[in-house]
Every structure is written in structure tokens, then in C-alpha cells.
Amino acid sequence: AIIVQQMEEVGAAFSSSSFGLKSRTPFSLSSQINEESTIATATAVSGDDFIQASIGRAMKDHEFQFHYGSQIFGESSSSPSSSLIDADFISYNVGVGNGGPTELAIRNGHLIFETADAILSVEECEYLIQSARQTIAREKENDKGKDEVTNSDLGELRLSNLPAEALEKVKTLLKDQLYPILENRFGGENTSFGDLAVYDGLVLGTIAPSVSQPVHRDASLLTLNIPLSAPEAFVGGGTYVEGLKDGHNGFPLRMGQGKALCHSSGVLHAGTSIQQGERWVMVMFVVARDEPQIARRTHAEGLDAMHAQALDMARAAFTAGLQYAPKDHL
């Protein structure tokens, strides 16, 4: 009981909840946990060895995730668009130190940016909604009889499962507009996160009445959020952001149809409930070639190890994470 309590105290230095999509790693973490726990018991593996092994798995997870995402969605060119200026965005401030474990790895890690103008037309938004709606209906039919809760049960679709034509439109949007926006707002000025790639994302459809998400972080470096529904299509809704400054604190951000919101994925936020209507949103989770996010990944491994009762491995994973983000206490 004392060991479990210590694990919880170490784990409390990180976010207690993290959204995003679990990476499709080429190895099984649960089997890795059980195997290494057995080896440690038999051979008395040192704590330092456990820590280095946890970091190694985090690096492997990152490399696979970036490669997978770049194959599906393409990657950025590491050349920020010089045509974008501050006037093209509305900015919001959550305060320095509130951007998550990798806030300092990016420029403006404590700021949230909303495009001043829509980057998708009404017709493009409606096309994506209909593509997602039809695909979710097909997946729901195929998922009948499954014991676990599926994406279709939640009214959401993984971007990688979009029909080929719709997926190509998303890839073009990323290449022509979204990657340049992210590099313009978060790259440059002593940052070196390298090329960007969406590793996956979701189109989420919410039908009233709904409940708000728990406040969370996303399992990525940067997050993109694009409302596909017009504001008049629903009552309520928006994105709540914890710690928002300048008179916005406590009130969700509500954007126009087709605009884009981007921020460090470590910023605490949540989608809020709607009371009437239907709300569709496209969310993308972005990673960077040269920023493996060791703290986030080892923390996730530590939680999995705790649940598997592999407490030495959990301790090592949390310790590894704290080496990379010692001040991120949440």
C-alpha cells in the first residue's frame, strides 16, 4: 500500500487525464510490462536500467507515431509561411507555465491562436460532416456485437478512416494551410522541433443533450480544432480552456464555422455540453520529428504499469518523466 501511494504521489506531478488517440505502436506495452517485471524480479535489474528502458520505449513510440502519421497525412516542410502575420489571428493567453511539459519546446507555448478568418468554406465543412456521418453509420453497423465501446458508439470517426476522397482533402488542407499556420505560430526563434505530422485525429459529432468532457490534455505536441458546424446549429458548446486570461476565464471559446484553433496540447481544455441541436468538430493531434515528448510518454507508461501492478517499472517511468519535466505539477 505504501508503494502504491508513492506511485500516486509521483504520478500526481503530471496531468491526471490525457485525451488523444493511443499510438499504434508495433509492440505490446502490456506484454512488455509483464516481461520486464518478471525479468527484474529474477535478476534484480537496477532502477537506472528501468529508467533508461522506459525512455527507450518512449523514443520508439515517438518514432513509430511520427512515421505512421507522415505516411497517412503527410508532413510539414519546416518552412514557416512568411505571409502570415499577427493580424491573421486572435490570440488568447493561459499564462506562462500552463502549456504543459513541452511548453518550452515550442514558441508561444502559453498562447492559443484562432484564425481571424475561416479556412474552410461552408460547403467544405458540410462535405466533411456528411462524409463523417455516413462513415460512422457504416462503422456502427460493423461494430454491432462488440463488447468494448467503439468510436462509432461515441459518435466519432478517426480521421484516418475517412473515405479516400475526404482524406485527400484533409491532407491538402494540412499541407497548404494548417502546417504553415502551426510553424508560423509555434516554430522559429530557437525552437527546433523539426517537421510536423498529424498522427491522427477525430471528427466528433455531438447530438443534444450532451455532457461536457472532463478537463484534459491531448496526447500530442500541438492540437488543431476546427468547428464544422455553424454556431446557430446548436445551443451551448465551445471549448473551455483552464486559466484563460484577459476576461475569458470560465467562458468557453466559441468560433465561427470553418475557423481553426491551435495550441500546445498540454494546455488544459475541454469540449462543453450542448443543450440543443448538433455540433460537429474536427480535431487533429500533431507530433514533431525532433520532439519525442519523453515526459508525456513515460507518464502514460507509468500509469499502465501501475494498473498492471508492475510497480518498479511504474516508478522508473514516472522518474524518467520527472527528469524531463520536473516543474509540471498537476
pLDDT tens for each residue of 165-212: 999 999 999 999 999 999 999 997 667 788 999 999 999 999 999 999
* The Cα angle at residue 272 between residues 147 and 109, in degrees rounded to 5: 105
Which of the 8 DSSP states describes residue 178?
A: I
Mind listing the pLDDT tens digit of every residue in the chain (330 residues)? Answer: 333 343 344 333 333 344 555 433 333 444 454 545 444 443 334 578 889 999 999 999 999 999 999 999 999 976 656 689 999 999 999 999 999 999 989 999 999 999 999 999 999 999 999 999 999 999 999 988 888 888 888 899 999 999 999 999 999 999 999 999 999 999 976 677 889 999 999 999 999 999 999 999 999 999 999 999 999 999 999 999 998 876 666 688 999 999 999 999 999 999 999 999 999 999 999 999 999 999 999 999 999 999 999 998 999 999 999 999 887 744
User: How are beta strands 274-288 and 111-115 bridged, if at all?
Assistant: unpaired
Residue 20: the pLDDT is 54
pTM (2 d.p.): 0.86
Residue 216: the pLDDT is 93
Which of the 8 DSSP states describes residue 259?
A: -
Which of the 8 DSSP states describes residue 216?
A: B
pLDDT tens for each residue of 15-45: 334 455 543 333 344 445 454 544 444 333 4
Residue 145: the pLDDT is 84
**Measured distance CA(271)–CA(116) in Å, rounded:** 21
What is the widest separation between alpha-carbon atoms in the chain? 63
Q: Which candidate, 301, 303, 304, 296, places its Cα nearest to that of 322?
A: 296
Residue 55: the pLDDT is 95
Sign of dihedral through CA atoms 262, 266, 271, 272? negative
**Measured distance CA(209)–CA(170) in Å, rounded:** 29
Sign of dihedral through CA atoms 27, 29, 35, 37? positive
**Measured distance CA(172)–CA(167) in Å, rounded:** 9
Interior/surface letters 292-307, b for 16+ CB within 10 angstroms, e for the rest: bbbbbbbbbbbbbbbe
Residue 309: the pLDDT is 93
Interior/surface letters 163-195, b for 16+ CB within 10 angstroms, e for the rest: eeebbebbeebbeebbbbbbbbbbbeeebebeb
On whether the CB atoms of residues 151 and 140 are closer than 8 A, the answer is no
Which of the 8 DSSP states describes residue 229?
A: S
H-assigned helices in the chain: 2-11, 29-43, 47-73, 122-142, 164-173, 179-186, 294-307, 311-324
Q: What is the three-class DSSP state of 169?
A: helix
Residue 23: the pLDDT is 39
